[in-house]
Structure 1
Amino acid sequence: MVAASTLGVLAATLVSGCVRPVAVNRAATAPETSVPRIAIMSAFDAEWQALRSATQITGTQVVNNRTFYFGRLAGHDVVLLLSGFSMVNAAMTTQALLDRVPVKAIVFSGIAGGVNPGLNVGDVTVPAQWGNYQEQLFARETPQGFAPSRVTTDFGGYGMMFPQGTSVTVRNAPPDSLERRFWFPVDSLSLAVARTVAGQATLKRCIAADRCLDHTPKLVVGGNGVSGPTFVDNAAYREWVWKTFQADALDMESSAVALVAYENQVPFIAFRSLSDLAGGNEAPNEARIFGRLASENSAAVVMAFLTALPASAFGAESRQ
């Protein structure tokens, strides 16, 4: 569930060893970087193996030690890359991509922790909006209980922790003006296409002959997702997240990518398959057992989505 722009090559005359060279862009195979593309992102390698294997790769470029794979997938010009674990890595990598490549839309594929008690391991969620639920105020404890000095959302707290709204740039407003926004909606066209592929993707139930889920995984489109910098494996906290945010899934990257996409006015959607129940099971966390199954289920839905997505979707421009 899981974590800056390159400044170029430093001159060879850097003084002694006090300054470390920054990462250098390297092209393994010269890519065509002027073609508008759909970006396919995942947090770590296991989440995108199936998608990368299905891509006809025509070139690569290394930026800040992350490889961008350029090519064709399901009839679309794409660029595939790993965001790295967690919010900071996801935001940094997304902005580095948008600074270098004309991106028509961002599609995130990966695993997540299940929050909705009506969902199970292996199910694939496609939330309609994402929130950064762990940007928090830690409240002062008083004899009357925890007393937050300021709260910018309507959500209640979990102990001393009270969710805050994320500050983002106001579009079409004076420079440096900000707004408080908790939810970031996904692209409406992408969500509509996702709703059409429910019967077109085969979702796995077994990871091995003796390791099968006791249910048939399903695709759920709509609802809420939340992201934060912590891996959650706690039943009480999971219950609070469900009651507070009505989130189907929680992860460590999606809302960060959604925020950067919003700031840059790039369409975004995330497909997250449940690798575990975030502490909701009495048994030990299931992610190590069913993580690969969840990754492959997410990739299967993404492939069905891309196949159903019209070639003309998002036009030829990199910005809305």
Structure 2
Amino acid sequence: MKKRTIGIMGAMPEEIEGVVALLSNCVEASMGKRTYFSGQINGIDTVVVFSRWGKVAAATTATTLIHEFKISELMFTGVAGAISDNLKIGDIVLGKRLIQHDMDARPLMKQYEIPLLSQTYFESDSTLLDSAANAINTVFENNSLYAVIGEDELMEFNISQPRLVIGDVASGDQFFSSKEQKHALNTQLPNILCVEMEGAAVAQVCYEYEVPFTIIRTISDTADDKSHIDFPSFIKKISSKYATEIIKNIY
């Protein structure tokens, strides 16, 4: 039986800082212009890394975690822009299925289909999905966010009763910052909850190597004309603390 070692990735340095602080016996290793932090969280071997933005960077990092650090499961934590009108800033989306919205090899194959894999969506591991959902619900039900995030900061983003939603997440090498982009994606893929730049690439690597994965995304913006205004402040004040609290409750 493969030894349990959890890999945790974030696309922004701020998204992993609090998680790195949870590690005991932390050891750093530099590889491929990335720093991998290895240690234990509650006695479980864990490797944490800032992956950088985009599908290629995320896929490279995931592959290194699998080959060099022999991880048995992978968790990606980060932010996303809401595509569904039912989502609000501060809500959390768990990716049940991941799709690359910018994959288009027509007419050789169907739009969104990954060449040679005959896959359009990559599905998360159901056991890890349930574990993450339980942890997130615990954070929300216990109001523990108020203990680590100031009420003024939550009010700044109109976060009062954040909720968990499980469903489809789309990834692509685009930052959504206009209503036109959002509308186009919503028209083509109406079941998509949110959009980001890494999750489906990580999911593809994990699928090919048979490594179970979880994609956890905090809604930081509405994927429209206000995205660039909300994004940097939200990362610093809100999402980095979300990630730490969720991971505390998963372990």
Q: TM-score range by the shorter chain?
A: 0.7 to 0.9
Asked if 1:152 is matched to 2:103, the reply is no
Decide whether the 8 Å contact of 2:11 with 2:53 is kept in 1.
yes
Q: Specify the SS of the correspondent of 1:199.
A: helix
User: Once the 2 structures are TM-superposed, how far is the Cα of residue 280 of structure 1 from its aligned partner?
Assistant: 6.3
Decide whether aligned partners of structure 1 residues 198 and 78 sit closer, same or farther in structure 2, where only a CA change above 3 A counts: closer
Decide whether the 8 Å contact of 1:134 with 1:229 is kept in 2.
yes
- 1:226-267 Cα distance to aligned partner (Å, 9 max, x none): 100111111122123234322111111111111000000000
Decide whether aligned partners of structure 1 residues 107 and 83 sit closer, same or farther in structure 2, where only a CA change above 3 A counts: same
User: Once the 2 structures are TM-superposed, how far is the Cα of residue 290 of structure 1 from its aligned partner?
Assistant: 1.7
Decide whether the 8 Å contact of 1:120 with 1:217 is kept in 2.
no
Q: Specify the SS of the correspondent of 1:196.
A: helix
1:290 corresponds to which letter in structure 2?
F
Gapped regions of structure 2 (runs ≥ 5): none
Decide whether the 8 Å contact of 2:58 with 2:201 is kept in 1.
yes
Tell me, in whole angstroms, the C-alpha distance in 2 between the residues paired with 1:196 and 1:98: 26
**Alignment length (residue pairs):** 242
Asked if 1:213 is matched to 2:157, the reply is yes
Q: Specify the SS of the correspondent of 2:127.
A: helix
User: Once the 2 structures are TM-superposed, how far is the Cα of residue 150 of structure 1 from its aligned partner?
Assistant: 1.6
Decide whether aligned partners of structure 1 residues 107 and 85 sit closer, same or farther in structure 2, where only a CA change above 3 A counts: same
User: Once the 2 structures are TM-superposed, how far is the Cα of residue 207 of structure 1 from its aligned partner?
Assistant: 6.1
Residue matched to 1:125: 93
1:234 corresponds to which letter in structure 2?
S
2:113 corresponds to which letter in structure 1?
G
Residue matched to 1:65: 33
Q: Indicate the structure with greater helix content.
A: 2
Tell me, in whole angstroms, the C-alpha distance in 1 between the residues paired with 2:134 and 2:248: 13
Name the stretch that deviates more: 57-66 or 82-91: 57-66
Decide whether aligned partners of structure 1 residues 208 and 284 sit closer, same or farther in structure 2, where only a CA change above 3 A counts: farther
User: Once the 2 structures are TM-superposed, how far is the Cα of residue 208 of structure 1 from its aligned partner?
Assistant: 7.1
User: Once the 2 structures are TM-superposed, how far is the Cα of residue 96 of structure 1 from its aligned partner?
Assistant: 1.9
Of 180, 197, 210, 2:135 maps to 197
Decide whether aligned partners of structure 1 residues 225 and 101 sit closer, same or farther in structure 2, where only a CA change above 3 A counts: same
Asked if 1:56 is matched to 2:13, the reply is no
Residue matched to 1:47: 15
User: Once the 2 structures are TM-superposed, how far is the Cα of residue 105 of structure 1 from its aligned partner?
Assistant: 0.1
Q: How large is the Cα RMSD of the aligned pairs? A: 2.4
After TM superposition, the structure 1 = structure 2 runs for residues 2-13 of structure 1, keeping only pairs within 5 Å, are: none
Tell me, in whole angstroms, the C-alpha distance in 2 between the residues paired with 1:233 and 1:117: 15
Q: Specify the SS of the correspondent of 2:102.
A: coil
2:220 corresponds to which letter in structure 1?
S
Residue matched to 2:182: 238
Tell me, in whole angstroms, the C-alpha distance in 2 between the residues paired with 1:231 and 1:212: 23
Asked if 1:259 is matched to 2:197, the reply is no
User: Once the 2 structures are TM-superposed, how far is the Cα of residue 287 of structure 1 from its aligned partner?
Assistant: 0.7
After TM superposition, the structure 1 = structure 2 runs for residues 1-320 of structure 1, keeping only pairs within 5 Å, are: 36-136=4-104, 150=107, 152-153=109-110, 163-167=111-115, 178-201=116-139, 202-203=144-145, 209=152, 212-245=156-189, 246-279=191-224, 285-292=229-236, 293-304=238-249, 306-307=250-251
1:258 corresponds to which letter in structure 2?
A
Q: Specify the SS of the correspondent of 1:180.
A: coil
Decide whether the 8 Å contact of 1:279 with 1:285 is kept in 2.
no
TM-score norm. by structure 1 comes to: 0.69
- 1:111-159 Cα distance to aligned partner (Å, 9 max, x none): 111111111111111110100111125xxxxxxxxxxx62733xxxxxx
Decide whether the 8 Å contact of 1:69 with 1:80 is kept in 2.
yes
Q: Equivalent pairs: percent with the same residue?
A: 22
Q: Specify the SS of the correspondent of 2:40.
A: strand
Tell me, in whole angstroms, the C-alpha distance in 2 between the residues paired with 1:86 and 1:209: 32
**Greater RCO (CA < 8 Å, at least 6 residues apart):** 2
Gapped regions of structure 1 (runs ≥ 5): 1-33, 138-148, 154-162, 168-177, 308-320
